[in-house]
Structure 1
Amino acid sequence: MVKNSNLKTLQRNIIFFFLAIALNLMPSCSSQKDTFTNRLYHNTTARFNAYYYAKEKILELEKEIQNEYQEDFSQVLPVFYPIDSATVEAKEELLKEAREMASKAVDWHKISDWVDPSYFLIGKVDYYKGKYEEAQNTFKFLNVNSKQDDVRHIALIQLLRSFIDHQQFEDASFVIDFLSKEENINDENKQYLYKTLAYYYEARGEMELMAPSLFKSLEYTKDKSEASRINFILAQLYQQSGLDAFAYEYYQKSVSGSPNYERTFFAQLYSQQVAELERSKDLKRVREYYDDLYKDNKNVDFRDVILFEKGRFEKKQGNLDEAIRLYSLAAKEVTENDRQKGYIYEALSEVYLNEKEDFLKTKYYLDSALSKFKETDKNYGLLSAKKIIFDQYALNYELLTTNDSLIQLSKLSPEDQEKFVDDFLAMEEERLIKEAELAKDKKSPGRFENLLAFGGNSGATFYWDNPVAIQKGALEFAQIWGNRELSDNWRTSDRGFQEAVNVGNNNNSGEANNSDNNNESNTITTNLPDKAALLNQIPNSPELLEQMVDQMEEAYFNLGKLLYFDLKQPDKAIEYLEALIEKYPQTLKKPEAFYTLYLATKDLEKDSDRYAQLLNQEFPNSQYTKSINNPDKVSGSKANLASGENYKTAYQYFKDRSYEEARTIVRQTLNEYPLTKNTDRLLLLDIMITGQLEPLETYKERLKTYLQQTKEEELLDFAEKLLKAVSEDDTASMGAATAETNKEEEPSAVSENLPDVPNVESPYKENFNQTHIFILPMNTDVAEKASDLTAALESFHNSNFSSARLRTGTISLGQKTTILIISPFSDAEKSIAYKEAFLNSFNNDSLTEEIKNSSFVISIENFQQLNKRKDIKEYRSFYKKAY
């Protein structure tokens, strides 16, 4: 009984104790009353409810950003996972909930210790939502007002990261200096601080300082997966610096910590490269290493990488054809990594450009590469710049070859034309059947065809496993029904089986474009061209033939100029331009063709005087003749400036109807400065003066000639208006274009709208958020002598901008100008920051300060205009105002 009584007493006391606590806590819902129990309640509730759930929501978002990001292991990994706005938008609800919960911790628990940490979470929500100003203000507020050192420190570190994001390096340096004087920073904040410092050096391109920061971050990193990634970055930095032994060590360290298989694979691949492959003389063992990697079923998702790396190895050994074969097989592999496909196509484009000099295939592989990269990818800018040139090459080359073939066919009789098409279709059918027979002996290319040298073959007997049977069936269907798209009611009678086929699709792009086809069905071509469609391609009228011949004349000329000025192929340029003159002896482009031939033969140290003599004999008054006879006054900024001023003076005389004075100034200028950016304007003004002083027919003929020779669209449009105006009424003295000049009033509106040098609207547009590139223009002779410049720049980038993954290349811009291109920069601000670093820190014996200071930055869109117009001075006028 005593025991029971004592037990009951104990139970009663416990009940009274909890009742007392409950009674004391009841008034604690007040967020103002500062008592022990009140603080206990609010601290507990804020920490384990509002603050906890807000933090979990943000951690969930950060995990999603990490999961959605596709690592590019061929480049140094970024310190922080880049924030994808699309991912953030998709998780908008998470941020909304996080902000609501953090706000409750602030509003409902004002006396708790979790108000400032909750304010920090609100700042992070704004940071991820892209409200950078609001986020920065929150972090600054906490630094000034918070009495909790840990909160102040993490707020400052997050503020530092935000400054770095926006290239606010001066503000970032101030925060770094401030934090360096802070004491008692806890280990978690130190880890984040040193990692953010590494990000700071990464953003500035100071790679030599990036590694020490990562080392310090590792000291405080408790998460094994995080440590694995940092070790991998350190290994990449060492490999890039040529310190293979250290790179091997850290690749091995990165394998620990349970990284995902992708990082494990690349760590093993690269560690073997730095340890053995690059220095090995046992080529058979190296090849077996790649073969074993390929055969390993665990590496199915990385077979494209393995083939690509093996191809790079073979290229270093000088086995170019084998490298191409391996690259092509790599491109056919099934993969979800588009960026890796882009690197493969880029490598193929470089091989066909530099080793094979096959510019058509270069163009199509560039197309394929760009289709796999995003604008934000590091090499997008340089590839886009190169593509402009090769697009023009392909356009003219294909037009020339297609028209030539069709014109030759047009000379045959209708019976012979039909026989030719029948023979062509028969050969195509035979080729397709042979391709199917080859495919029959191979397994599906998606997984097994690319066992290239790694596996065996097997035949197929079941129809759907038999490519030959499928192909024959498809060809038989096409012969009966024609080529039909997959659709309902395909047998409907009103769907003619003679539908036209675009035979132009059968071009060299197939090799590049078909590399993505990974299904066996895609390797079998069933779309035979339709006979009637092929016959309809042959020109059957004098008008159409004349049009095609004119197109070929233009193509010969364009290819000659492109090969000389842009592709630096004077020998090939000579072939096209000499063919132009031989096939079209009366061409109006002959003066410029002679001029380009003069330059090309001079470069090759051949008989350039021949073309100088031809120009003087046949075209003594041509601007190109004058430029050869007066080489010191051909072009340049002084010539451009002087000719521009003379143009304005002459134009004013023209508007005042002082035609003789205007003509004198124009012709003196054209004699003194034969080829400047104002030459076409001066020539057009001279023609307009002719319209006032000479017969109408002379005026019309000069306009027609001008339209065939000038390239500037603005002037072309204006000249077409002039010609149209006088052509509408031949009986009028000057038609609508010049009738007004016979009155007492001002000259006609058409004349008055002649493009004026200072008033021409700039073709360049402001777009500072677009991808930018850095341009260094040089005299071509200087560029050719600067053999070590590219290597010096690569070293400069490795030391200062290695995380930026910059690419370097050169193209020609006009006769005597070569531009060095460094790309890409995601926006104008980053490109300008690079320019400042280049001017302050890059030194090379090949470059004078004057050349360095001539550098500028330009958006991709504006670069397309610059490459088209070839006028750097014109762009500089825009650049000075815009940047």
Structure 2
Amino acid sequence: MWLNENVRGTLRRASHHRHISFLLLLASYLLLLTSCSNDKNTAQSRWWHSFNAKYNTYFNGSQAYIDGSLEKENGHRDNFTEMIPLYPVSNKNSKEIGKGNFNKAIEKSQKAIKRHSITRRPEWTKNRKKTERDIEWLNRSEYNPFLWKAWMLMGRSQFHQGAFDEAASTFAYMSRLYQTQPAIYGKARAWLAKCYIEQDWIYDAEDVINKMKRDSLDWRAVKEWDYTFADYYIHTGRYEEAIPYLKKVIKHEMRKKQKAREWYLLGQIEAALGHRDNAYQAFRHVIRQSPPYELEFNARIAMTEVMAGTKDKQMISRLKRMAASDKNKDYLDQVYYAIGNIYLSKRDTLKAIEAYEKGNEKATRAGIEKGVLLLHLGDLYWARENFSDARRCYGEAIGLLDKDRDDYEQLSNRSKVLDELVPHTEAIHLQDSLQALAKMSEDDRNAAIDRVIEALKKKEKEERNRQAEEEARKHEQGGENFDDIIPNDGPTPARQPQQQQQGNSVWYFYNPTAVNQGKSNFQRTWGKRENVDDWQRVNKTVVAGPADLANLTDEQRDSLEAAELIADSLAQATDSVQNDPHKREYYLAQIPFTEEQVEESNMIIKDALYHSGVIFKDKLDNLHLSEKQLRRLTDQYPDFEHMDDVFYHLWLLYQRKLQPQIADSYLDQLKEHYPESQWTTLLNDPYFEENARFGAHIEDSLYAATYAAFKAGRLTEVKTNTILSAQRFPIGDHRDKFIFIGGLAKLNDGDGKGCVEDMQTVVKDYPQSDVSALAGMIINGVNAGRRLHGGKFDMGDVWTRRSEVLQDSDSIAARVFTAERNDRFLFMMAYEPDSVNENQLLYEMARFNFTSFMVRNFDIEVEDIDGLHRMRISGFLNYDEAWQYARQLYKNEAVTRLLRKARMILISEPNLELLGTHYSYNDYDEFYEEHFVPLKISTVQLLTEPADLPVEPESVSPASEEQEEILNGGVLDDNTLIDLGIEPTPTTELEIPSESNEIPAEENRTPAEQNEIPAEEPVRPVPAPQQPAVVVEEPAATVVEPTTTVEKPVTTIEESTTTIEEPVQPEIGIEIPSDIIEVPSNDIEVPSDVIEVPSDILEIPSEPIKPTTPTVPTTPTTPTDEPVFEITDDPTETPAPSGTEIDIEDEYYELDGF
């Protein structure tokens, strides 16, 4: 019994001690959490937030970034027919790959910045003198030593998902945030330049590059600038300068597949410069990397092309062996394309065409490679004036190639012209052939028909064999239906491209290549058809609806049925022979034997000769072929019903060929045989030559003068000019407007009937005219019984117009303008619709708002009110803010140049309701001059403060997931502490750029070229003072949420130089070191309870540093100067720091080389 009580007492005491220990541990942990709030800036809080940012949110974000990069690397497909880009994201078809993972990385980065940003300045004794290093350290805006990597991760994720605008904003903001940290600043500026390059904002990229060339560059940023310079020189076509940097990029590259792509790109550049040996070696390096088979195959193809100049036969033999290989069955179009290129380089056009045609025949993929082959084949046929085959090639290629190609516009124009021309040329060829067959003897004719039938049978047999091979190949590949179920660790090289194509999950109608290809297939099968009902029928007039059949009588129905039975019986009798292209009867039925058939054939020829001749002259500028077609028409078919048109075009043709004597001969024939022709009247006009050269300008001037005379009431002048217009420009562009104004002028003479007749002429002859609707309204008014009255109108009256007329003084007194300056205001631009380039203005205004204001968002709205367009910018809290906005806007030349014909208005929201209704614009101008112009504007920069100031919580504690993270244990990774050269406002939070426009943009970014956003002028670091005992009286202004005044820190810190009491280490498995200044040695120590600033900062060097040139202040590392890298055009002059192989803080290592 005593033993049991003793045991129970011991257990109670032990339990009591465990409970006390647990409470003490919990209290210590809670004390640690409280002391690690980001409201405090101590070594302990800096360590805490650095640790949590790295191993919690940043880690998750980095893993998402790696997953997205792997997805993009594996899903990206290069177009090897063109120079491949350095970054896969440059291919617009690859931008959407990995977007979900990149968005997750961005979200995690923003979360890390929001939770772990430390912006409060550390405490400092007011009477303590500051050294250069003290000043640099105290002027930071961010004291979390790891957070720069979260910013970098966010910007890189935005870049690789193709959101270059957001990425540029992030890196621009980051470069200002870390402007005193040379390594981070240099990396951010390099990525900023790459964002501009990828958007083709070359001017902005050059601005960033040139400014960095003037500064010293930290050696840790050299790697990123090698990528930037390589990308820049490739985009600008300066290949000679790109090669050294691209070679450095290859050395830096950690990803094997990307390194193979970079070797291939280097080979393409060397080949473009004519360095065949260097290109050959570069392509060999591609194969040595063991890349995916598609890349390896294209490298082997490129090797044969660069060496074909001296070893033609050897290279062609090698390519034919590649074509015989089973694993290259899906790449035969590329193989024969390369063979054709070799023949073409030897000027053997016939063999080149033969190789291209074979590649087209054996192609199994409908991709860009086949499109390029067909494009070059079509060009060869075009040059040889074989327009029928050129049309075939162009028509198929246009559905396979991207619209962004430089030669796509030419391809599209040629295809359209050939679609119009080829039916005429083929009709001529067919009818000539049929008439030639009709003139042959029966034996020769039958022999010719038999040759055609044999060729048809041979072609059909080849097609059957090809389809059989295709089916056999599919059968051999077998379980393609199980590809999605059974994982395939090693796909065969031939299958890989198909799997990549099938992996593209873009919906058909969102894939422009697939849509264009479908259109081309439809046109090859059905021709060009209008989007109407019964488009399959050639003769739609025979289509009878059910209602028409119901109205027929019984006798009519019987006759129709009898006719249908007879037609069916005849068709069945002749289908077996005349509709079978394998029978002679099929061809004999088309040959014109009788005079009527020959005449019909000649009619087809004459019409085709005329239209093809005009197309050759006007759309192809091929005067030789045009002359051939038109001269044949005049010589062989002088009875052509439109011979006057032929003579006119021949006259124009010989005028262009500078043969006036021949041209005059056709003019004489035109006047002699067709005196009433419209062309005879036109050419007999004494002003014909003047009108041909300057007619459009003369008519424009005449109309402008007539309109001005109409507004001024000079009606006699209006009538005279209207008559002159009818004589000089009967088919002019402004003829409808002359008739309309002339009709209105008749009202002043009381000729209402003549006015209505002119309005009817406008509606009837010019239904698409701008004034046709007005003319129709006048006619409808007259028909409704309204009377016409004379008058005039002026577009300028819109500024004096108001839609409501007030009737009494009470209503006037109730609705008047207010002079309250604290109402919400708008900045508005009013203009006539055609006087301003509205799309360009909207773009420039959005860009101005985005780049000029970091913490304010202004809404832009365009509205159409009473014939005026009004662009409103809202979001101003009072008149002073709107005035400051307008003043800053007027300094932007890109915007002011667009607003020369617009009226700019500052107006409050209550006054806007009255503008244009109760009062005109001119009325408001008078009111504004009287009440607002004399006001004194506030000198405080109001637009630098947010409209809604955030309320900072009294205390912030880490999230629950972070509390769990600290208990996981582990060893704290070394961190380089990054400084900021901008002082924060202690009572505000750090703005975090996101994908929206909340990302602060750079300051002073007025574009020098109107369609580009130039990079900002970076804040150049000021050299440190030579005397170390300088006291900084005014801290730097904050970047994120600037205020007018910043309180100085007043907390006094006791200085202790003897003994520093070590704090008690919390029992959580992590040792907190002692407090020292954050140095790149990456040791982070916890300060004592008394000293907040490390003691080694206070050490004054024996001799102050005296810089001779303004350079970027370096991060305090060691007492010795840190080596710098000067960017020059010659990359061989790049100095490297001695004893330094790699940068342990290089984020590429944490992101698996992506």
Normalised to the residue count of structure 2, the TM-score between the two structures is 0.44
Residues 601-629 of structure 1: CA deviation (Å, up to 9, x unaligned): 56396944431221232345767556599
Give the one of 47, 51, 65 matched to 1:44: 51
Residue 811 of structure 1: aligned partner: none
Give the structure 1 partner of residue 617 of structure 2.
564
SS of 1:82 mapped into structure 2: helix
1:222-267 residue CA offsets vs partner (Å, 9 max, x unmatched): 4444443333222222211222233223333333333333333333
1:742-779 alpha-carbon deviations (Å, 9 max, x no partner): x99699xxxxxxxxxxx9999x998999xxxxxxxxxx
More helix by share: 1
Of 404, 408, 412, the residue aligned with 1:384 is 412
The aligned runs of 1:126-165 (5 Å cut-off) are 126-128=158-160, 132-146=164-178, 148-165=181-198
Secondary structure of 1:372 counterpart: coil
* AA in 1 matched with 2:694: K
| 2-structure distance, mates of 1:92, 1:568 | 49
Letter in 1 for 2:382: L
Matched, 1:61 2:77: no
Structure 1 position 360 matched with structure 2 position 388: yes
8 Å Cα contact 1:363/1:394 also seen in 2: yes
In 1, distance between residues paired with 2:370 and 2:840? 29
Question: Which residue identity does 2:617 align to in structure 1?
Answer: Y
Q: CA shift at 1:86, angstroms?
A: 6.6
Trace 1:597-612 onto structure 2 (pairs within 5 A): 597-601=650-654, 603=657, 607-612=662-667
Alignment of 1:71 onto 2:126: no
Q: Which runs of 5+ in 2 are unaligned?
A: 1-19, 119-143, 439-446, 474-521, 529-573, 581-585, 591-597, 747-762, 791-831, 843-1006, 1013-1154
Alpha-carbon displacement from aligned partner over 1:815-842 (angstroms, at most 9, x marks no partner):
xxxxxxxxxxxxxx9x9999xxxxxxxx
**Structure 2 equivalent of residue 307 of structure 1:** 336
Give SS of 2:218's match.
Answer: coil
1:203 partnered with 2:235? yes
Change over 3 Å in CA distance of 1:378–1:98 after alignment to 2: same
CA deviation after TM superposition for structure 1 residue 156, in Å: 1.8
Deviation at 1:436, TM superposition (A): 4.5
Change (3 A) 1:426 1:530: farther
How many residue pairs get aligned? The number is 609
Match of 2:1102?
A: none
Of 340, 354, 365, 2:369 maps to 340
Q: Does the residue aligned with 1:279 lie in a helix, a strand or coil?
A: coil
Give the drift of 1:561.
0.9
Q: CA deviation at 1:306?
A: 1.0
1:203-352 mapped onto 2 (5 Å cutoff): 203-275=235-307, 277-280=308-311, 284-336=313-365, 338-352=367-381
Q: For residues 631 and 267 of structure 1, do their structure 2 counterparts lie closer, same or farther at Cα, with a shift above 3 Å needed?
A: farther
Q: Which residue of 2 aligns with 1:866?
A: none
Quickly say closer, same or farther: Cα 1:215–1:84, change in 2 above 3 A: closer
Give the letter aligned to residue 261 of structure 1.
Y
- Write the deviation string for residues 773-806 of structure 1: whole angstroms up to 9, x where unpaired: xxxxxxxxxxxxxxxxxxxxxxxxxxxxxxxxxx
Q: Report the counterpart of residue 394 of structure 1 in structure 2.
A: 422
Measure how far apart 1:396 and its partner are: 4.5
Q: Shift of residue 35 of structure 1?
A: 5.8
Query: Contact (CA 8 Å) 1:334, 1:446: kept in 2 or not?
Result: no
Q: Is the 8 A contact 2:431 2:605 kept in 1?
A: yes
Distance 1:382 1:327 in 2: 21
Change (3 A) 1:586 1:718: farther
Which amino acid in the other structure matches residue 37 of structure 2? S
TM-align CA RMSD: 5.8
CA displacement, residues 117-169 of structure 1 (integer Å, 9 cap, x when unaligned): 21232334444566555433332232222365443332222211122233333
Give the distance between the partners of 1:127 and 1:49, measured in 2 at CA: 23
CA pair 562-503 structure 1, distance change in 2 beyond 3 A: closer
Q: CA deviation at 1:68?
A: 2.9
Structure 1 residue 569: deviation in Å? Answer: 3.3
Using a 3 Å threshold, how does the CA distance of structure 1 residues 107 and 767 change in structure 2: closer, same or farther?
closer
Q: Work out which structure has the larger RCO, using CA pairs closer than 8 Å and 6 or more positions apart in sequence.
A: 2
> CA offsets per residue over residues 69-111 of structure 1, 9 Å max, x none?
3212222221222356675556443233223322332234345
Give the aligned partner of residue 208 of structure 2: 175
**Equivalents in 2 of 1:73, 1:506: separation in Å?**
33
Q: Does 1:642 align with 2:642?
A: no
Please point out which of 399, 403, 410 is paired with 1:371.
Answer: 399
Partner residue, 2:669: 614
Q: Is the counterpart of residue 103 in structure 1 residue 115 in structure 2? A: no
Contact 2:89 2:95 in 1 (8 A): no
Measured in 2, the distance between the counterparts of 1:714 and 1:402 equals 42
Cα offset, 1:344, TM superposition = 1.0
Q: Which has the larger radius of gyration?
A: 2
Within-5 A mapping of 1:838-849: none
Q: Deviations over 1:721-744 (max 9, x none)?
A: 99xx9xxxxxxxxxx99x99xx99
Pairs within 5 Å for 1:363-512: 363-397=391-425, 434-438=458-462, 444=468, 446=470, 505=525
Q: Is the 8 A contact 2:75 2:97 kept in 1?
A: no
Alignment of structure 1 residues 623-634 onto 2, 5 Å: 624=679, 627=683, 633=689
Aligned partner of 2:1138 in structure 1 is none
User: What is the TM-score normalised by the length of structure 1?
Assistant: 0.56
Q: State how far apart, in whole Å, the 2-side matches of 1:666 and 1:596 are.
A: 25
Q: Quickly say closer, same or farther: Cα 1:557–1:718, change in 2 above 3 A.
A: farther
Which of 586, 594, 603 lines up with 2:647 in the alignment?
Answer: 594
Question: Cα distance 1:298–1:132, how it changes in 2: closer, same or farther (>3 A)?
Answer: closer
CA distance in 2, matches of 1:271, 1:557: 50
Distance verdict in 2 for CA 1:245–1:668, change over 3 Å: same
Give how far 1:366 is off: 0.8
Amino acid aligned to 2:411: L
Which ranges of structure 1 fall in alignment gaps of 5 or more residues?
1-15, 412-422, 450-501, 509-527, 539-544, 671-676, 693-712, 726-735, 748-758, 770-828, 835-883
SS in 2 for 1:70: coil
Q: Contact 2:68 / 2:99 at 8 angstroms: preserved in 1?
A: no
State the distance in 1 between where 2:688 and 2:716 align: 33
Question: Match of 2:147, as an amino acid?
Answer: V
Aligned partner letter, 1:175: V
Relative to structure 1, is the Cα distance of residues 253 and 640 closer, same or farther in structure 2, using a 3 angstrom cutoff? same
Q: 1:448 to 1:179 in 2, by over 3 A?
A: farther
Q: CA deviation at 1:592?
A: 3.5
**Residue pair 2:305, 2:338 contacting (<8 A) in 1 also:** no
Maintained 8 Å contact 1:571/1:600: no
Q: Is the 8 A contact 2:165 2:195 kept in 1?
A: no
Q: Is the 8 A contact 2:612 2:629 kept in 1?
A: yes
Whole-angstrom CA distance in 2 between matches of 1:506 and 1:662: 49
Q: Alpha-carbon deviation of 1:365? A: 1.2
CA contact (8 A) 1:560 1:573 kept: yes
Q: Secondary structure at the match of 1:122?
A: helix
Cα distance change of structure 1 residues 53 and 401 upon mapping to structure 2, 3 Å threshold: same
